[in-house]
Amino acid sequence: MCNHYKEKITTKILSNKTIADNVYEMQLTVPSIVKEARAGQFVNLYLKDESKLLPRPISICEVDIQTNILTLVYAVFGEGTRIISGYMAGSDIQIMGPFGNGYELTEGGTHLLVGGGVGTPPLVELAKRLSGEIIVVVGFKSETYLVEELKKYATVYVATDDGSTGFHGTVVDVLDAHNLRTGKVYACGPKPMLKALQNWVEESQLEAQLSLEERMGCGFGACVGCVVKVISDNEAGYDYKKVCVDGPVFNSKEVIFS
């Protein structure tokens, strides 16, 4: 992992399309990032509007070494991502990365990948890079996406809040329903999901890596806008780490969810 000595790269957008309600897939040709990227890392996208200086951190969904294509899947949460969603194929965009700590991969055995909503995209590249038995459990409010891509590499279970697709309930409900208490756990999703999964993992006596979804101001560790509370051996018993440089992936045993 290295968050330093990177430069902005100007490249053309190959495609930028809607794949679900308020969810977009952008593809770019960025050989240097594709070569270096690890599953679980992110990139910074820069807006063309000079009044918006801060980049938007977007997790890496997939990289293709053969074509040098980088795939990003992002949700429109605010003004920045709304503007990015309107950028057309063929237009230029500035990008920098990859940043952050990715997942630590292990060979063979059973791997249990758990995602919620826009925590699903990083699991695609992760599933591609793992070897052994790969099981994916993903949860959505209603509309699903990237499920077919994940099925290329793994057995996939889907949960939805409204029961419109797959299991009616949460990802933890699916884990219990199918008795999936085995293997190494890798997760990415909203804080309530990760907190519930952290408890489930502890009860199941499994090892887990959690990728945290925090709003990042800069993506470089300068603004201290994405700190997370972690267990420490100091007098207080806890300390703080920056998600953008110390994460976004953390061992589940060290994270303290409020």
Is 184 in contact with 172 (CB distance < 8 Å)? no
pLDDT at residue 148 in the model: 97
Is 101 in contact with 249 (CB distance < 8 Å)? yes
pLDDT at residue 16 in the model: 98
Is 208 in contact with 192 (CB distance < 8 Å)? no
CA distance 232 to 163: 40
Where does the pLDDT of residue 220 fall: very low under 50, low under 70, confident under 90, or very high at 90 and above? low
Residues of the chain with pLDDT > 70, as a percent, come to: 93
pLDDT at residue 244 in the model: 79
Residue 150, C-beta contacts closer than 8 angstroms, at least 6 positions apart: 120, 123, 124, 127, 136, 138, 156
pLDDT at residue 222 in the model: 58
This prediction has a pTM of: 0.93
What does the pLDDT look like over 123-179, one tens digit per residue?
Answer: 999 999 999 999 999 999 999 999 999 999 999 999 999 999 999 999 999 999 999
- The domains located in the chain, with CATH, are 9-99 (2.40.30.10)
What does the pLDDT look like over 71-83, one tens digit per residue?
Answer: 999 999 889 999 9
**Does residue 205 have a pLDDT over 70?**
yes
